Amino acid sequence: MKYPSLARLVLLACVLAAPLRAAEFTPEPGFTALTNGRDLTGWHHKDAAGVDGPALDGKTEGGDGRWTIKDEALSGNDKKAESGRVLLWTTKAFTGNFVLRFDFRSAAGTDGGLFFNKTQLQCGDYSSYAYKNCKAYRPLDWNAIEVTVQDGVARATCNGELLTATLKITEPGQLGFEADKGAIDYRRIRIKVLP
Handedness of CA 134, 136, 141, 142 (dihedral sign): negative
Q: How far apart are CA 147 and CA 149, in angstroms?
A: 6
- In this predicted model, which residue has the larger pLDDT, 163 or 78? 163
Handedness of CA 169, 170, 176, 181 (dihedral sign): negative
* 3-state secondary structure labels for all residues of 79-148: HHCCCCCCEEEEEEEECCCEEEEEEEEECCCCEEEEEECCEEEEEECCCCCCCCCCCCCCCCCCEEEEEE
Which domains can be identified in the chain, with CATH numbers? 27-193 (2.60.120.560)
Give me the pLDDT at residue 20, please: 42
> Which residues are CB-contacts of 162 (< 8 A; sequence separation ≥ 6)?
155, 156
Would you call 183 helix, strand, or coil by DSSP?
coil
Give me the pLDDT at residue 8, please: 57
Nearest to 38 by CA among 52, 20, 53, 12: 20
pLDDT category, 2, cuts 50, 70, 90?
A: low
Above 50 in pLDDT, residue 174?
Answer: yes
Give me the pLDDT at residue 15, please: 44
- In this predicted model, which residue has the larger pLDDT, 155 or 87? 155
Above 60 in pLDDT, residue 22?
Answer: no
- Mean pLDDT to the nearest integer, 98-127: 94
**What percent of the chain is predicted at pLDDT more than 90?**
69
- In this predicted model, which residue has the larger pLDDT, 179 or 64? 179
Report pLDDT digits (tens) over 139-149.
999 999 999 99
Above 60 in pLDDT, residue 16?
Answer: no
